[in-house]
Chain A
Amino acid sequence: MSTLTTQNLTLAYDQATIIDGMDVTIPSGQITALVGPNGCGKSTLLRGLARLLAPRGGAAYLDGKAIHHLPTRELAKQLGILPQSPVAPEGLTVRELVAQGRYPHQSWFQQWAADDESAVNKALALTGMLEFADRPVDALSGGQRQRAWIAMTLAQETAVILLDEPTTFLDLSHQIEVLQLLERLNRAQGRTIVMVVHDLNHATRHASHVVALKAGAVAASGPPADIVTPALLRAVFNVEADVVPDPRTGVPLCIAYGLAETPDEYDET
């Protein structure tokens, strides 16, 4: 199986160190949600795991091999990344977009083998995009568009898929559409999914493992039922919240009702 870990990983943009010496393990075959307040480094961590950002120190490992030292094409056969809000070129159809996912499997002489075609069709079917396959991506709704991009990542046929805020800018039903798709992919195909999410309740409901980050460090990590507590919400998000069992599934549900009392600022109510 494919296990993602980091050891003493340090990530930085120019002068600003975002993540300093982080050790984290992503369980394979599960959905892991990276959560935390703005600027905590969750997207940066995802970029580091996907070799979009080179480590300043330490390393991220896939099955024990340092990700930054793997040939980029080889890595692309094992690990897919969907960045935040990607933009498709004007007029590009869904099928053309999804076909791009075959890039790491192709060569100059084999640009469209039978495997490529079947992988694209499978990805279109899995995401329910077959009927939209020949529509331009820019003519789709937000949820369909995100599904098209996820289909591209699926056509890459990687064991691990990383997604940076896959539900941002989508309305509620489209958020659920995307999250349920990810759950299906994880359950039916055993793919390891790592996603950055903003909504903590999305994390508890759809992920089986949560990594909560604060200020570039892991504040807690584990199954949502074990780690999502009022104390964690206070420490990580600086909010006072009730954590109650979800009436249908029993997973922890967070209801925030105010900012946590902090010694500095915020006098008013």
Chain B
Amino acid sequence: MSAEIAPSSRAAYPWITLRTRLLSLRVDRRVPPVLALALLATLAAMVVNIGVGEYPVPPLDVVRTVLGLPTGNEDYSFIVNTLRLPRMLVAALVGLALGVSGAIMQGLTRNPLADPGILGISAGAGLVAVTLIVVVRNVPAGIIPLAAFGGAVTIAALIYLLAWRGGDSPIRLILVGIGLGAICGALTTLIITFGDIYDVQRALIWLTGSVYGRSWTEFWPLVPWIVVFVPLALLLARDLNALNLGEDVARGLGSPVARRRGLLLLTAVALAAATVAAAGTIGFVGLMAPHIARRLVGPDHNGLLFTAGVIGALIVVAADLVGRTIFAPIELPVGLVTAVVGAPFFIYLLWRTRRG
């Protein structure tokens, strides 16, 4: 069995092909360099982000501490590995999940404006989680991601019933999503207003869309969701490509449309819900990351999904870095930073879609 990696003889052949007896794949040739650069940039942003703060740690020492090498400063291990590293990992995984989730939603709805935040799916997850924390109280931490997932699924089902089935008008989908999101947001506010102050504080910590104070306790529950659903998304990339051509074309190509669409939607919703449980509702990342990724590697979901995920991770880590440093020592929540950049981006897309 010999692996041949064949960049075709033609000069501008757009694909890199991997072909063995057991496996054959192709990917846009822009994907490997873009992914490598985006991963490097994300790692660099994480290192810088871990280094800054009230107690600064030089970047090289950050890397040495994370790798368990001696640095000559015993405090570093606590500051880096206990306080700041889990926060950064949560930020990166949340960005990854949001980027992949947004890319799936945009491909599935064929709508450039789709995003778990804008469609109200994150708000649905938030409402359920706040209800558990403030109204039910004393819920084990492991239950909250599952419950948030339930809330997200409910909103996704409502959107599907109210907007999607009766034709796929992009604006209608977005309006229904914003409407449902607003209802969930209002109910969440109501619950918070009447809740016990201690519970409310706990709910608010992550509801604001922040990775502040995230520790290994928030990191580990997030991991299984990523480990299951990101690879599942990558496996479904071919079906997403087919569905992105429209339902009739996908069906004509032999895709089991209803089942694959359901599985893709479940994946997108699960990833979005997991991010809400870990870091609250961080808006616009799922909107922006796929657009940036599409510009860099083209619309083929084989390369696009993971690229959108890494770009999402970069956005969240970089936004958190900005939030921590711009008004230091005051910290802005990462969701505020992404909204400041993302809202104009959304309006620009809305304007372009209306004209188109």
Question: Which of A's residues lie within 8 Å of B, judged by CB?
Answer: 47, 50-52, 72-77, 80-83, 86-93, 95-97, 99-101, 103-104, 106, 108-114, 116-117, 134, 153, 156
How many inter-chain contacts with C-beta < 8 Å in the A-B complex?
99
- B107 nearest in chain A by CB position: A89
- Is there contact, CB below 8 Å, between B246 and A83? yes
- Is there contact, CB below 8 Å, between B242 and A95? no
Picked from B23, B107, B241, B294, the residue with its CB within 8 Å of the CB of A110 is: B23
7 closest pairs, A vs B, by CB? Answer: A76-B254, A104-B254, A81-B252, A112-B26, A73-B254, A83-B248, A103-B253
| A–B complex contacts, Cβ < 8 Å, 18 sampled | A52-B251, A74-B254, A76-B253, A81-B248, A81-B249, A83-B246, A89-B110, A89-B244, A90-B299, A91-B298, A96-B299, A96-B300, A103-B255, A106-B238, A110-B24, A111-B25, A112-B15, A112-B24
- Which residues does chain A contribute within 8 Å of B244, judged by CB atoms? 89
| Those of B21-36 within 8 Å (CB) of chain A | 22-26
A118 to chain B, nearest CB (A): 12
Q: Does B3 contact A (CB under 8 A)?
A: no
Q: Does B137 contact A (CB under 8 A)?
A: no
Q: Does B235 contact A (CB under 8 A)?
A: yes
- Which residues does chain A contribute within 8 Å of B17, judged by CB atoms? 112, 117
- Is there contact, CB below 8 Å, between A134 and B251? no
Question: Which of B's residues lie within 8 Å of A, judged by CB?
Answer: 12, 14-15, 17-19, 22-26, 107, 110, 112, 235, 238, 241-242, 244-246, 248-249, 251-256, 294, 298-300, 302
Given contacts A89-B110, A91-B294, contact A108 B14 (CB under 8 A): no
- Is there contact, CB below 8 Å, between B298 and A52? no
- Which residues does chain A contribute within 8 Å of B254, judged by CB atoms? 72-77, 103-104
- Is there contact, CB below 8 Å, between B19 and A72? no
Max chain A C-beta neighbours (<10 A), residue from B241, B242, B253, B256: B253
- B23 nearest in chain A by CB position: A109
- A81 nearest in chain B by CB position: B252
CA gap between A96 and B12 in the complex, in Å: 14
CA gap between A208 and B116 in the complex, in Å: 52
- Is there contact, CB below 8 Å, between A72 and B255? yes
- Which residues does chain A contribute within 8 Å of B251, judged by CB atoms? 51-52, 72
- B241 nearest in chain A by CB position: A100
CA gap between A103 and B242 in the complex, in Å: 8
- B246 nearest in chain A by CB position: A86
A71 to chain B, nearest CB (A): 8
- A95 nearest in chain B by CB position: B14
- Which residues does chain A contribute within 8 Å of B23, judged by CB atoms? 109-110
Max chain B C-beta neighbours (<10 A), residue from A50, A52, A109, A111: A111
B252 to chain A, nearest CB (A): 4
- Which residues does chain A contribute within 8 Å of B112, judged by CB atoms? 90
Picked from B19, B110, B246, B299, the residue with its CB within 8 Å of the CB of A113 is: B19
B106 to chain A, nearest CB (A): 9
- Which residues does chain A contribute within 8 Å of B12, judged by CB atoms? 134
A193 to chain B, nearest CB (A): 15
Starting from the known contacts A89-B110, A90-B299, A92-B299, 9 additional A-B residue pairs (CB-CB under 8 Å) come to A52-B248, A72-B255, A72-B256, A83-B248, A86-B246, A88-B245, A103-B242, A110-B23, A112-B25
CA gap between A80 and B246 in the complex, in Å: 15
CA gap between A99 and B252 in the complex, in Å: 14
- B236 nearest in chain A by CB position: A108
CA gap between A91 and B295 in the complex, in Å: 9
- A51 nearest in chain B by CB position: B251
- Is there contact, CB below 8 Å, between B24 and A111? yes
- A83 nearest in chain B by CB position: B248
CA gap between A110 and B23 in the complex, in Å: 5
- Is there contact, CB below 8 Å, between B253 and A100? yes
- Which residues does chain A contribute within 8 Å of B298, judged by CB atoms? 91-93, 96
CA gap between A134 and B241 in the complex, in Å: 17
- Is there contact, CB below 8 Å, between B253 and A156? yes
CA gap between A116 and B107 in the complex, in Å: 23
CA gap between A59 and B242 in the complex, in Å: 26
CA gap between A206 and B2 in the complex, in Å: 49
CA gap between A50 and B245 in the complex, in Å: 17
- Which residues does chain B contribute within 8 Å of A92, judged by CB atoms? 298-300
- A138 nearest in chain B by CB position: B356
- Which residues does chain B contribute within 8 Å of A50, judged by CB atoms? 252
- Which residues does chain B contribute within 8 Å of A74, judged by CB atoms? 254
- A50 nearest in chain B by CB position: B252
- Is there contact, CB below 8 Å, between A101 and B22? no
- Is there contact, CB below 8 Å, between A89 and B299? yes
A123 to chain B, nearest CB (A): 14
B233 to chain A, nearest CB (A): 13
CA gap between A104 and B251 in the complex, in Å: 10
CA gap between A112 and B4 in the complex, in Å: 13
Max chain B C-beta neighbours (<10 A), residue from A72, A95, A109, A112: A112
Max chain A C-beta neighbours (<10 A), residue from B23, B249, B298: B249
CA gap between A106 and B251 in the complex, in Å: 15
Given contacts A134-B12, A134-B14, contact A89 B252 (CB under 8 A): no
- Which residues does chain B contribute within 8 Å of A156, judged by CB atoms? 253
- Is there contact, CB below 8 Å, between B300 and A104? no
CA gap between A82 and B246 in the complex, in Å: 11
- Which residues does chain A contribute within 8 Å of B299, judged by CB atoms? 89-92, 96
CA gap between A92 and B14 in the complex, in Å: 12
- Which residues does chain B contribute within 8 Å of A112, judged by CB atoms? 15, 17-19, 24-26
CA gap between A108 and B256 in the complex, in Å: 14
